[in-house]
Structure 1
Amino acid sequence: MPDASMPVADLWWKRPFRMFQTNIREIDAALDVDRVLDQIEGYGANAWLLSVGGIISNYPTQLAHQSLNPALQQRASGDLVGDAITAAHRRGVRVLARMDFSKVARPIAEAHPEWCYVAPDGSRQVFEGLTSVCPSGLYYQEKIFEVLGEILGRYEIDGFFFNWMSYNEIDYAKRYRGVCQCLPCRVVYGPELGGTLPTGPDSPGYLRWQRLTSDAIDELLARVRRFIAERRPEAPLVMRDTADIVFHEANNAIGRSLWPHQTSEHVSVARSYRPHVPVLVNSVAFLDMPYRLVSEEPRMFEQYLLQAIARGGIPSTYIMGTKDDFDYECLAAGSGVVRFHRDHEDLYAGLSPAARTAIVRPDPVKPTFSKPALAQEEFRGIWTALLERHVPFDTLPENRLAALGRSGDLDRYALVVLPDLGVLDDTAAKELDGYVARGGSLLLTGASGLDAERSQLESSGVGARLVTMDTPETTWSSAVVREDGGALPILGAFHVVRGRDGAQARMSVLSRAPYGPPEKCYGHLPLDHPARLDLAHGSGRTVALPWTPGHAYRETGLGGLGDVIAQAATDLLGERLEIETDLPAQVEAVVGRSEAGLVIHLRNLTGLRGQSFGAPVPIAAGRRLTVRHDAVDGGSGGGTTVRAVVAGTTPHAATTADRTTVTLPEIGLFEVLVLS
């Protein structure tokens, strides 16, 4: 990490910036650096991510295990990296090095087979003449430090990014190749896995292998950070959630169902866990890897960048080659968002999450998860329900709950939502109980906090689990009956539970009944199984929904299911809900705080369509948004000023003793309110 003696103010990447990546090909080594810099600055960016080394070296490397780009002969200097840094620094543009150590050329692989990935069938992973190497081998463990040392010894580089630094189970052709079986992997992981490595997701020990290899990458990255910081402390490492700057690539893909909030989710998880650490969102301007010449849909592309800045991330754009080679039509839309970020740096300086509700994202490699995809659907259903009903929220990573509890950071939130998380880490469970006892609130759905029949959380209204119904045969045609009498389908799972002493049971259940010929469709029995349990614990409260309404909402879209989730959340929040609005459900409210004050991004999602986004339908002026003063100034009672930044206006605001109601301007793609 950076030298602790260096003041934060001296770290250039602690202030807002905007990056542009030219993912250049071998044949692009003769590019005109000044022309590219003109294009980067015209786009609104002030940092350049340039391919420097690894698979191909775009500088005159002297290392035998690196492949010099033959096209460098076309440059007078023979050095693209040196030319780019000299020209960029003259303009005040930062240059970061893109490194890719995932593959080596055939001669290197033949000379060092011990560095290479080995498939379960004994084959190597070879694609277009390049051979994949394994992070367990000496290429990653030793040789990359020689490369970094060579670069840092020659250039005033401003940062590093490592591409595809992982245990590659899938190749560029999207073929599944399996878990690496090389000798270093067997030596490192074999003892931890009973002497045998898994071969794929269906093998015993696969989730454990995923956790072990993830930890190994983090350890390697920690070594890389220390190596860089000792030689150039002002140069950050851009990588995973323990790096100086967290990296997320926002992209689409053929054959992958769209989760339209993917970028928001990743930025929110990283920023909510460590608000002081920047998150860089590298937004891909092309459709998919096999279609790198095809532009992404412009409205989809601008959503990547907008979701990034709304959640406090750094916007970055990723193209193939240069704009002269691939002038993607989506770049005009993206540039609008990037230039807005450039023109309002004061707004984004120090922008951090400030919602009072947090949804916990399930840990997909938790060993106790038997069906992580189901927990993900519950999470996404709850996300959608709260977004549509304008309950602002941040997102926390499940595997960091214990640490967040110990540090006191959970207490930033009035409400924490646990979406069908199943068995919790015991330390996390104790921290959550302590959080509730101090005045926090928990909303639990599904099996959150249930370990077999035992309830791990003393703060939960669930005392014990009696049985689980989680197959279609056990849930089809059964229903939860709301307090207003409306019936809602049980999809996913329903847990028959016994309430804890003092818990209030709400909402009833109807049993299964025949659903075949209409003549036989009757016989639902009212059951004494609680579908909602409320409990006071210490100074706080909890609501447990021992079924999966989020999963059902994702499956059916029935508004009543989303209402059940949102009603439980607002019951727990009470007067701590920071905003109220009559905006349509298709407008998301993201609450943050920066040096400028309370910042509310209003994102117009009316353009969402199937696998992409189209043009949004403008939201007419005159809608209202009410903000509690204690969300703006901590309850000091001072006067509140309001700016609508996109519209460039000071909207009408009516103020009472404890809240301000803003009459909103027309909202196109988005609006940003600043209250101070």
Structure 2
Amino acid sequence: MFDILAEAIDRLPLDGVFFNMIGYPTRDYSGRHLGICHCEGCRTRFREMYGMELPAKEDPRDPVFRAYQQFKERTIREQFLRVQALIKSKNPGLAICTYTDAGVDVIRKESNTPKGRWLYEDSEKARLTRLRHPDQQLANAAVHFFHYPHRHTAVSPWLTLRRLCQHMVNGAWLDFYCIGPLHTLEDRFGLAQVREVFRFHAANECWLTNTVSLADVALVADGPCDPDEWRGLFRILSERHVSFRLVLAATMDLTNYPCVIAPDGGRLADDIQRRLDKYVRAGGRLLLTGPKAPTAVATLGLQKELPALPREKGTYIRIRPADKARLLESEFNDLDLLFLDGPLGRAEFHTEVEGLLRYIPPAMFGPPEKCYYTNVSDIPALHVRQADPGVVAWLPWHVGAHYEQQGHAGHAALLDGLLKGVLKAPRTAALAGPEQVEMVHRGDPAGRFEWVSLLNLSGMMDGVAHAPIPVRNVGVRVRPRAPVTRVRLLHAGEPVRFHRRGDGSVECTVPELRDFEIVLFETTKP
């Protein structure tokens, strides 16, 4: 391979090199299981590295197979570092792209399912990849077809549009993959949308490339975390139009963010919890979720972790008038309790820790005429401590998982109200529009401009992507880093009137949002 690669670089004017189907595939294109490779090269190398014979089958419980998993990772990394050394020695400007992060300039991924895995799949993928590999770019292919046996049949045009847009507005490249030239495709559904997004990106490249997140909230992505808790928090923040980005608390400077959310914060390593504690001491606003007590976050004031209350049927959380006064959400005018369908963490605290919300022990849920509760306990379901100048809150249950699994609006309202009322997290970008509009706030690192992207997801119906329903009169407000001189709608290609408010913010209205729009705020900063 290396000889062929060297000859190709020497003889051809290449722009880049892409490697497909790398690693150790165990299935062919028909899905047939081929098993673990037992060629002489693999057997010899595995024996040299681990002193064992290759495992006979893929069994995660087998320590030999777990060693084989490490073997694959190590050898793939070694291989592409060798590839990188060869290519860069001959042409340092030649781009390398494949499905790994070792030795490449561009990380390759795909979105290749018929309906998509979840609504924010590509926003999540773009943010996580760029977070973990800030010095490499992501080329995530929006795949034209929906599986191998039917490579000439397209997925929904609007699914392709969503995938491309979610990567475009989160700092990743555009990438579309189909079989054969575009003009020979016999299923051309989606090509009009693909052309429009690529045309838009080319026309507005100066505004879309090399931008940074201007998020108000940082969502900690270090892990480990309950997957539904993660997705639920991601979904609530997106639907509630809270501008957020993902961070690695172990390595990044958190003081750049007014508010930090740590999903399953008690499961984070102690050194990461101590970094979060330092953030609070510096004036940050921190929210930790999950039943495991974050014992290394000293500013929370924990004295002793107590056994969590187990998941039981018929349990609730009481929202008292005093709680509503702190949460500042009008939705609680019609809501006095939330259901609890999971464990509730407990701990003993210093006296200055405020306990909000109250746990309602298991109540009868049948027969119907006896469905009522008789006791509201004194056990809080939210703990808050002012640690001047910062503030820290612990929600000792999985509010995100509740929303992801059951979709009750009260859980989303609780998180939103906690951010607004209890933590008093500022909002430098706000949107007056339905939950089906996804918002991202980014800008120029030097402060010359910033923009708010709007992606209309209203066409998503039970996993099937249809054309979005136009949304009219979407209000956008930002508190810019420098005085705004002009506001433009990049997709509509027209200026829009804006109004300066007394608090320093600027607001405007998007007359009609069809599929996507980017509201550009140009500033006076040179």
Q: TM-score range by the shorter chain?
A: 0.7 to 0.9
Counterpart position of 2:297: 457
Counterpart position of 1:337: 197
Is the Cα–Cα contact under 8 Å of residues 443 and 542 in structure 1 kept in the other structure?
Answer: yes
Distance in 2, matches of 1:468 and 1:510, equals 14
Distance in 1, matches of 2:32 and 2:387, equals 51
The answer to whether residue 339 in structure 2 is matched with residue 478 in structure 1 is no
Counterpart position of 1:403: 251
The answer to whether residue 500 in structure 2 is matched with residue 611 in structure 1 is no
- Spell out the pairing of 1:17-416 with structure 2 (5 A cutoff): 144-174=1-31, 183-184=43-44, 186-187=46-47, 190=50, 199-201=58-60, 203=62, 213-214=72-73, 217-239=76-98, 240-241=100-101, 243-253=104-114, 258-275=117-134, 277-327=136-186, 328-361=188-221, 363=223, 375-396=226-247, 400-404=248-252, 408=253, 410-416=254-260
Three-state SS of the structure 2 residue aligned to 1:314 is coil
Counterpart position of 1:625: 476
Match of 2:391 among 541, 548, 556: 541
Is the Cα–Cα contact under 8 Å of residues 468 and 495 in structure 1 kept in the other structure?
Answer: yes
Shift of 1:390: 0.8
Is the Cα–Cα contact under 8 Å of residues 190 and 196 in structure 1 kept in the other structure?
Answer: no
Three-state SS of the structure 2 residue aligned to 1:183 is helix
Counterpart position of 1:466: 306
Match of 2:274 among 430, 437, 453: 430
Counterpart position of 1:574: 424
Residues 257-280 of structure 1, C-alpha deviations (whole Å, 9 max, x = no match)? 731211111111233445554222
Distance in 1, matches of 2:386 and 2:48, equals 48
Letter paired with 1:351: T
Residues 380-415 of structure 1, C-alpha deviations (whole Å, 9 max, x = no match)? 11111111111011123xxx43222xxx3x333222
Identity of aligned residues (%): 26
Letter paired with 1:653: F
Is the Cα–Cα contact under 8 Å of residues 419 and 425 in structure 2 kept in the other structure?
Answer: no
Q: 1:642 to 1:420 in 2, by over 3 A?
A: same
Q: 1:620 to 1:661 in 2, by over 3 A?
A: same
Three-state SS of the structure 2 residue aligned to 1:577 is coil
Q: 1:573 to 1:154 in 2, by over 3 A?
A: farther
Relative to the length of structure 1, the TM-score reads 0.67
Relative to the length of structure 2, the TM-score reads 0.85
Is the Cα–Cα contact under 8 Å of residues 241 and 270 in structure 1 kept in the other structure?
Answer: no
Letter paired with 2:211: L
Q: 1:309 to 1:432 in 2, by over 3 A?
A: same
Shift of 1:550: 0.8
Match of 2:487 among 611, 634, 642: 642
Shift of 1:563: 1.0
Letter paired with 1:599: W
Three-state SS of the structure 1 residue aligned to 2:283 is coil
Residues 609-654 of structure 1, C-alpha deviations (whole Å, 9 max, x = no match)? 2223111111113x3221113xx33xxxx34421111122221211
Equivalenced residues, count: 500
Distance in 2, matches of 1:539 and 1:165, equals 51
Distance in 2, matches of 1:194 and 1:353, equals 48
Match of 1:590 among 440, 448, 451: 440
Counterpart position of 1:557: 407
Can you give the 5+ residue segments of structure 1 that lack an aligned partner in the other structure?
1-143, 364-368
Shift of 1:534: 1.4
Distance in 2, matches of 1:307 and 1:157, equals 30
Distance in 1, matches of 2:163 and 2:388, equals 42
Is the Cα–Cα contact under 8 Å of residues 462 and 533 in structure 1 kept in the other structure?
Answer: no
Three-state SS of the structure 1 residue aligned to 2:21 is coil
RMSD: 3.1
Counterpart position of 1:88: none
Distance in 1, matches of 2:234 and 2:442, equals 17
Is the Cα–Cα contact under 8 Å of residues 358 and 378 in structure 2 kept in the other structure?
Answer: yes
Distance in 2, matches of 1:491 and 1:390, equals 26
Residues 247-301 of structure 1, C-alpha deviations (whole Å, 9 max, x = no match)? 22122148xx731211111111233445554222211011122221211111111
Shift of 1:572: 6.2
Q: 1:479 to 1:339 in 2, by over 3 A?
A: same
Is the Cα–Cα contact under 8 Å of residues 186 and 197 in structure 1 kept in the other structure?
Answer: no
Shift of 1:424: 1.8
